[in-house]
Amino acid sequence: MIVVTKWTGRTAAALQDALHETNEGFAELLGAAPRTVAGWHSNPDLVPRSEMQQALATIYERASQHVQMRFSRLCRPPSEPAEPRAQALRVAIAVVVRGDEVLLVCRRGDDALTWQFPAGMVKPGGAPEAVAVRETHAETGVHCAVRQHLGERLHPVSGVMASYFRCDFLAGEAMNRDELENVDVAWVPTASLTRFIPAEQIFEPILSALEAA
């Protein structure tokens, strides 16, 4: 049961709704004019005079438990909008194939250089496949087209959510176009891929797709 210390137009109207009373019926219970009740609906912040405060309190205290429960629900403040959920950090990774070769970039790390597939960060609402194509060109100058979505996983090294795409080479000379992040770009024979990236770090569907290619 809610304890009402000061009735307002809003809580008085909620009590009326809980009782399922019309303006006329509620006014009769209170010994008031229907226009008084109507005024509470039009001005929810209005504070009724002291004798009306007592009349409202009396009706509420004498109401059934079901009415009091309905009143409590009606007086409950609306739920606050849920906090927007942060999107997990996501990257789109392009596995670009040209014949029996696959495109790699050599990235600068904190402690060492590592060979990786071209990749880019996916912003909230962004399309991962578009990011894979765009970032491949931005990093290497190579134009490609997505052929197949290979799946997703939490990357074992970076811990970010990674979306993988098997891409076909279209055009362009491979070159290092992002010298801040990378030191080299190369077409690597698919048969030699594990010499550049440890086999345990390669997403299994990538190996299957390259074997099929």
172: which 2 tokens? Answer: 């362009």
SS3 label, residue 42: helix
Strand partners, 165: 94, 149
What pLDDT, on a 0 to 100 scale, did the predictor assign at position 11? 93
Closest CA relative to residue 31, chosen from 9, 60, 4, 51: 51
Q: Which residue has the tokens 């010994």?
A: 31
What pLDDT, on a 0 to 100 scale, did the predictor assign at position 82? 46
- The answer to whether residue 124 scores a pLDDT higher than 50 is yes
SS3 label, residue 79: coil
DSSP string, 131-147: HHHHHHHHHH--EEEEE
- Judge whether 182 and 105 are in contact, CB under 8 Å: yes
Q: What are the tens digits of pLDDT across the range 181-199?
A: 899 999 999 999 999 999 8
pLDDT classification of 177: cutoffs 50, 70, 90: very high
- Judge whether 107 and 113 are in contact, CB under 8 Å: yes
> Greater confidence, 212 or 6?
6
Strand partners, 60: none
DSSP string, 67-116: HHHHHHHHHSPPPPPPPPPPPPPEEEEEEEEETTEEEEEEEE-SSSEEEE
What pLDDT, on a 0 to 100 scale, did the predictor assign at position 110? 65
- The answer to whether residue 133 scores a pLDDT higher than 60 is yes
What pLDDT, on a 0 to 100 scale, did the predictor assign at position 42? 83
Mean pLDDT of all residues in the chain?
88
134: which 2 tokens? Answer: 């765009």
- The answer to whether residue 80 scores a pLDDT higher than 50 is no
- Judge whether 117 and 86 are in contact, CB under 8 Å: no
Q: What are the tens digits of pLDDT across the range 19-73?
A: 999 988 998 999 888 888 988 888 889 999 899 999 999 999 888 887 888 888 8
16: which 2 tokens? Answer: 């009326």
146: which 2 tokens? Answer: 């997505």
The CA-CA-CA angle for residues 145, 138, 155, to 5°, reads 75
Q: Could you tell me which residues come within 8 angstroms of residue 122 by beta carbon, excluding any fewer than 6 positions away?
A: 90, 91, 92, 128, 131, 163
CATH of 90-212, one of 3.30.450.40, 3.40.50.170, 3.30.70.100, 3.90.79.10: 3.90.79.10
